Amino acid sequence: MTERVVLAYSGGLDTSVAIGWLGQETGAEVIAVAVDVGQGGEDMDEVRKRALACGAVESIVVDAKDEFADEYCLPAVRANALYQDRYPLVSALSRPLIVKHLVEAATYHGATTVSHGCTGKGNDQVRFEVGAKALAPELKVIAPVRDYAWTREKAIAYAEEHDLPIDVTKKSPYSIDQNVWGRAVETGFLEDIWNGPIEDLYSYTSDPAQQRDADEVVIAFEAGAPVAIDGKPVTMLQAIQQLNVRAGAQGVGRIDMVEDRLVGIKSREIYEAPGAMALIAAHMELENVTVERELARFKRGVDQRWGELAYDGLWFSPLKQSLDAFVMKSQEAVTGEVRMTLHAGKATVTGRRSATSLYDFNLATYDEGDTFDQSMAKGFIEIFGMSSTLANKRDQSLAGE
């Protein structure tokens, strides 16, 4: 029986030529799997047909938009996942989902190998391969671009030679990855980190400097999950999509940063993630209202590690699973509404209300109705500061000697 390779197929040049090339090099049949994570652009059926035209024995399109929103983006909201306090893990979140569908296709079709189009200096190769091994340790992996130093020039030549149905003339000066959670742009003139981004880079967001009216939105959460926008129930996917439109129209969610890649180098990245950034901002403030202080303080460290693991391709790792258990438990009371103003590139919280609020007007107010017993403070301060005070006293007596 002929060996089979399942290829993560995007419809672009690299993975289109990989179909024929993989078959040629390995003698295997190639099955193309394209996963719809809301990347937009081409019709997915066009993508499916192109794979067949390029020689795939089977071409599969998976609509994973809801799954992506529910199982990957929602946990990221609950963990306020911002790598380096900034990056909402756009590509990092989609890779384990794509891997899952690759592995499912490999199992279903009896393939022994999976393949992806990543280079050897990025994070995605790690996410693909560590993810694939997590789900199916016995699968082999081929990454033509990396393992065979397959360049764009070679790819174009191959496509022309084999008359593949790809327009090799159009080339973006940037490398772009996008899905419903956001969009990542790199390379080109951005590789000079003193160069500022230009308006042309952006597609999910309008220019924040353009004058326009502000948009006010009320997002309702239950146990850390967005469940309604302006009073209308939404799925997680709808929440992201609606906020991509509304926050995007206001220029919200642009990010320009130098980032620490897992492979040890720093790279310059431009992101836009209007829905993601609005949801995380709202969620953080609702946590401020509903999560107890010590839990909130510790959770910051958990959130950071969660984001690092997702970034580093360790989505299916044991630590990630235990952190998830912590995060889920912490979210039980993160229920309520947050009102935000979307305007000029900012999503600003202006109000919050919650039946599970820990904000207690009667304790907080300085006006009538104050129930806080101020006489408690003296004892608190004395004992709270004691260990430090004793050390200061010791240090002074030493310094005085």
Beta strand segments in 345-389, E: 346-353
* Whether residue 124 lies in the annotated active site: yes
- What 3-state class would DSSP assign to 117? coil
Q: Considering the complex, state which of residue 42 and residue 370 has its C-beta at the smaller distance from its own copies.
A: 370
Bridge partner residues of 195 (DSSP): none
* Whether residue 183 lies in the annotated active site: no
* Whether residue 175 lies in the annotated active site: yes
Residue 326 in tokens: 């912590």
- Per CB under 8 A, does 398 bind its own copies? yes
Instruction: Report the relative pairing of strands 29-36 and 232-233 from DSSP bridges.
Output: unpaired
Q: Is 43 annotated as a binding residue?
A: no
> Of the candidates 81, 114, 134, 282, which one interacts with its own copies according to CB under 8 A?
134
- Per CB under 8 A, does 70 bind its own copies? no
- Per CB under 8 A, does 319 bind its own copies? yes
Q: Considering the complex, state which of residue 61 and residue 142 has its C-beta at the smaller distance from its own copies.
A: 142
By CB under 8 A, what part of segment 210-239 binds its own copies?
A: 211, 214
- Per CB under 8 A, does 245 bind its own copies? no
- Per CB under 8 A, does 294 bind its own copies? yes
How far is Cα 268 from Cα 278, in angstroms, rounded to an integer? 23
Radius of gyration of the chain, Cα coordinates, nearest whole angstrom: 25
Give the ranges where 218-352 is alpha helix by DSSP (H): 236-249, 274-290, 293-311, 318-330
How far is Cα 79 from Cα 89, in angstroms, rounded to an integer? 12
> Of the candidates 5, 56, 103, 333, which one interacts with its own copies according to CB under 8 A?
333
Query: For residue 216, which phi and psi values (nearest 5 degrees)?
Result: -110, 135
Q: Which of 48, 78, 95, 352 is catalytic?
A: 95
Q: Considering the complex, state which of residue 146 and residue 162 has its C-beta at the smaller distance from its own copies.
A: 146
In the stretch 157-186, what mask flags binding to its own copies with x, by CB under 8 A? Answer: ------------------x-----------
* Whether residue 339 lies in the annotated active site: no
Q: Which of 78, 94, 124, 254 is catalytic?
A: 124
How far is Cα 47 from Cα 56, in angstroms, rounded to an integer? 12
Residues tagged active-site: 14, 95, 124, 175
